[in-house]
Amino acid sequence: MIDARMQLALNGGGLDLPEEGRIAVFQPPVDADLEGLPADRCLIIHDFKPYFDAWAARGYDVAHSTKDRYAAAIVCLPRSKVEARALIAEACAVSDGVVVIDGQKTDGADSILREMRARVTVKGPVSKAHGKMFWITAPAADFFADWVAGPSQTEGGFWTAPGVFSADGVDLASALLVEALPEKLSGEVADLGAGWGYLSAHILSRPKVQTLHLVEAGDMALECARRNVTDQRARFYWDDAVTWQPPHRMDAVVMNPPFHTGRAAEPRIGQAFVATAARILSGHGDLWMVANRHLPYEAELNKRFSFVEELGGDARFKLFHAARPTRARR
């Protein structure tokens, strides 16, 4: 973890952080304690709403983008290499001093280290806990301009961005769910975990949908959704779908819920999405959902809804329709 590597780097490893000025920390793991960093001088930069809120609850200043200059910057590498490069480019552009890069080997730390050594003088690295930390003096603001990456259009005409789910094109599970959606969708509809808006774009092809509420925890994904979904009936929420409070009960929920935040599958996330759907639906409301076939969502669906049916799917994915949420009826 970054905590152990930071201690080694600061205590004899050769890393010196400035004694004054703010330090921008890009996408630190939610469970990191950042021991050794002055908490009152750190700005945590996270575009994922649950982690943004978690760091704020711990008393840190938080933002979902950079607007100022900083005395130093720390980048915690994400899994996407393109996104990692973009974060490093952003950190170098806003830092007046050292830029620290930290990551697990499974997230490509070695590969990024090799790429950076080919371009700039790298200090360190410090290796511990299956990861590496290294640092550079921030070069000219445009030195890593070729690493900058933002929203771009796929061959299908949709806007996506590095690091968002299914950034290279349409997710097969979402495409399967689109084929199963009824033409009679109407009223107030929520797309939980809307991503860059593929499902929403198809939901709004139904003329009887009055309002579509796109709920997405990733700020960049939501920015892409705003570009992809321009219908005036769309409403956008940068929020955690699990805790989202709608303006009123929904007539329908459509969702392809996430099932991991790291590498391992975490069925509890999708189960929490099912519970949210039941909570926000009206008594006559319907849920339309797709999931990986190996994930155990049936028990949660039957717990939360009076009517549950599997609509089929394929070898990889299963489709569900659920109705009459038990919570809404009480």
263 pLDDT higher than 80: no
117 and 177, same domain (yes or no): no
Burial classification of residue 248, based on how many CB atoms lie within 10 Å of its CB (0-12 exposed, 13-18 middle, 19 or more buried): exposed
Both tokens of 17, joined, read 């952080």
| Count of the separate structural domains present in the chain | 2
Residue range(s) defining the domain that contains residue 308: 152-329
Asked which of 1-5, 118-122, 205-209, 319-323 is least confident by mean pLDDT, the reply is 1-5
131 and 200, same domain (yes or no): no
- Residues 172, 178: Cα–Cα separation, whole Å: 10
Instruction: For the chain, give the mean pLDDT.
Output: 93
| Cα 109 versus chain centre, distance | 20
Query: pTM for this one?
Result: 0.91
123 and 186, same domain (yes or no): no
Q: Strands of 281-292's sheet, edge to edge?
A: 234-238, 209-216, 187-192, 250-255, 281-292, 317-325, 305-313
31 pLDDT higher than 70: yes
β-bridge mates for residue 176, sequence order: none
- Residues 163, 217: Cα–Cα separation, whole Å: 13
47 and 67, same domain (yes or no): yes
326 pLDDT higher than 70: yes
Question: Which of 105, 122, 147 is the last residue before a domain boundary?
Answer: 147
98-155 pLDDT, tens digit per residue, is 999 999 999 999 999 999 999 999 999 999 999 999 999 999 888 999 999 888 888 7
Question: Which of 130, 147, 164 is the last residue before a domain boundary?
Answer: 147
26 and 45, same domain (yes or no): yes
CATH number, domain containing residue 50: 3.40.50.150
329 pLDDT higher than 50: no
Tell me the average pLDDT across 42-58. Answer: 95
Tell me the average pLDDT across 279-293. Answer: 96
Nearest to 279 by CA among 307, 257, 246, 308: 246
62 pLDDT higher than 80: yes
